[in-house]
Homo-oligomer: A and B are copies of this chain.
Amino acid sequence: MKLPPLNALRAFESAARHNGFIAAADELFVTRGAVSRHVKLLEEHLGLKLFHRNHKGVELTTAGHDLLPVLTESFQAMAEKCGHISASAFELRIICPPALSIRWLFPLLERFRELHPEVRIKLTTDFYGAKGFDTSEYDLGISVEHMPGRSPNIVVLPLFSSYLSPACAPNLLKGQQSLSSPQDLKNFTLLHENPRREDWKTWAREFNVEGFDPSQGEAFPNLDMATKAAVMGAGIVMADMALCREELQLGTLILPLEHMKCEEPHGRYALIGSRDKWDDPNVTKFKDWISEVSAEGAPAA
């Protein structure tokens, strides 16, 4: 079956729903005549009357009653879906792990919003989860990314490197224990970001340090909290230098072994997204903006 003229279907649907051509005309922003004409056209197309025309308004025929619901449902479904899709065109769903989010991205985001007020950013502050970056849930992700060979439809844009080095509150070193060589670490509590990274271990491996247990100490759900704990003097955190610049500047954290800093060994901070959406306008805006922001002020040089 060939579909009747769609606009005629719509006019009929509206007229039937409102039980009158005038109401339909109002809804569709046209004149009564236009609606009348559309309905007539549809009736001719189908070969039967859809309305009984009484002196007072119209009333659906059996056929009209039969036809109405499927039209209403269909138009409704299409309108709803188009609405969602259209709304999603102004939406940018970003996922960023906690420390990076709260210590870096979040404060910057306001500037992006000023620059592109039409883009509605939905930021999720969390780790990716077991299956890695979920392209159906998020348009972009920001985190430390191991560059080579991801899934083929994932694109990675490197942003900046960061460096790992042990950090602690200055008071911690005012006691009996000194911390001038890595071996001294055995006398301190180590503070860990638990769920993902094994930064102490990698740092130790990187510098071939032995004589302390890099898994000893206390664990936190993310690096932000571990860092805060360090500020409070709870121990020594393997700090991500890009993420605690404020503490370092204020002097609430110091780097007792500053000469021993290694580049994030898992990779670099990067923006990732699906190839599909990589050239979407909003994604592009964000890409451009974040590249600039990263270049301008990020690395702990």
Contacts and interface: CB of A to CB of B under 8 A. Distances in A.
A9 B70 contact: no
Contacts of A148: none
A276 B85 contact: no
B1 A10 contact: no
Nearest to A50: B85
B9 A46 contact: no
Interface string A71-115: 101110111111111101110000000000000000000000000
Contact of A63 (B6, B71, B78, B88): B88
Contacts of A88: 48, 63
A150 interface: no
B7 A62 contact: no
Given A7-B6, A62-B276, A74-B74, A86 B49 contact: no
A4 B82 contact: yes
B9 A78 contact: yes
A133 to B, nearest CB: 15
B280 A49 contact: yes
A146 interface: no
Contact of A89 (B3, B63, B89): B63
A216 interface: no
Contacts of A277: 61-62
Interface in A24-61: 45-49, 52, 61
A88 B65 CA distance: 14
Nearest to A282: B48
A67 interface: yes
Nearest to A277: B62
Interface of A: 1-4, 6-7, 9-10, 45-49, 52, 61-63, 66-67, 70-71, 73-75, 77-86, 88-90, 136, 274, 276-277, 280-281
